[in-house]
Structure 1
Amino acid sequence: MSSEEQSTSYARALDHAEEMLGFRLERFLEPTPGEPENASDFKRIATTHAFDDAWPRTTHLDTRTRALVSVATVASLGIAEPLRGQIRIALRQGVTKEEIVEAFIQIAVYAGVARAFDGYSIAAQVFAEQDDAS
C-alpha cells in the first residue's frame, strides 16, 4: 500500500471513528514524550484496522450487533478505557442500556463475576454521562 493510500485509509478511519464516537480521536493519538518515532505507525495501523477495516464490514454483521460484540469482548478482557469507548459506540448505534446489562450478565457467566462487575461500573458511568447530556 502506498503512503498516499495509507493516508487516505487513515483519514477514512478517523472520520468513521468520529461518526461512531461523536468526537475526533486525534487528541488520543498525538505523540507523547518519550515515544519512539514508530509509535505513530502503531497508532495509525491500529486505528485504520479498527475503523476502516473491521467496523465498516456490515454484510454479515450489522454495526449495532458488532458494537454489542465489541462491548462484550473488551469487557471480558478487562480493558477499561476501550470499554468506555465501546459502550459509547454501542449506545450511539442503538444498543439499549438494557441490552448492555444483558451482555454483562453473559460476561459474568463466561468471563467471571468480578470481571463483569468491574466492567459494569464503567457502563454505569457511561449511562450517567448519557443521562447528564440529555
Structure 2
Amino acid sequence: MGKDQFEAGLEVRRDVLGADYVNKSIENADDFTRDLQQLVTEYCWGEIWTREGISRKTRSIINLAMLSALNRPHELKLHVRGALRNGVTKDEIKEILLQSAIYCGVPAAIDGFRVAQEIINIENE
C-alpha cells in the first residue's frame, strides 16, 4: 500500500460517497483524525473496494446489511447514498432492510428504514 492505493481509494470513495463529502472529510482531518482518513482511504477503499471479485453494487448491498446488523446509522446513511449511486434500487434497499429485520432484529431494521428513507427522499428531490 501507499500513495497509489490512497489515490485509487480516493477515486472510488469519491465515486461512491460523493466528492463533496469525501473532500470535506479529507480537508477537515486534523492531527487526531488524519491517520484514520489515510487508513480508511487506502485500506478500505483502495485495497478492498478496488478488487474485481464482486461489483460495487454487490459491495453496497453487503455494506447495507452489515451496517444494519451493527446498528451504525451514520455509516448506513452514507452507504445508502452510495448504494443508490452504485445501482441498488429503492426496492432492493427495502428488501435488504426487511431481511435484516429477521436476522438482526426489528429495532435495527426500523432504524435502517428511517435512515434509508431520509436519504431516498433527499435523492428524489
Instruction: Assess if the C-alpha contact under 8 Å between 2:9 and 2:50 holds in 1.
Output: no
Partner of 2:5: 9
Return the match for 1:102 from 88, 95, 102: 95
Q: Which runs of 5+ in 2 are unaligned?
A: none
Distance apart, 1:8 and its partner CA: 2.8
**How far did 1:80 drift?**
1.4
TM-score by length of 2: 0.88
Identity %: 27
Looking at structure 2, the residues matched to 125 and 68 of structure 1 have their Cα atoms a distance apart, in angstroms, of: 18
Cα distance in structure 1, aligned partners of 2:12 and 2:78? 14
- Paired with 2:71 and 2:19, the residues of 1 have a C-alpha distance of 23
Which has the greater radius of gyration?
Answer: 1
C-alpha RMSD of matched pairs (Å): 1.6
Aligned to 1:41: 35
**Could you tell me which of 61, 70, 73 is aligned with 1:68?**
61
After the TM superposition, list the runs of 4 or more consecutive aligned residues in structure 1 that deviate by more than 4 angstroms. none
Structure 1 gaps of 5+ residues are none
Q: 2:8·2:50 contact (CA, 8 Å) conserved in 1?
A: no
SS at match of 1:31: coil
Whose relative contact order is higher, 1 or 2, with alpha carbons under 8 Å and at least 6 apart?
2
Alpha-carbon shift at residue 115 of structure 1 (Å): 0.8
SS at the partner of 1:94?
coil
Q: TM-score, normalised by structure 1?
A: 0.83
2:25 pairs with one of 16, 24, 28? 28
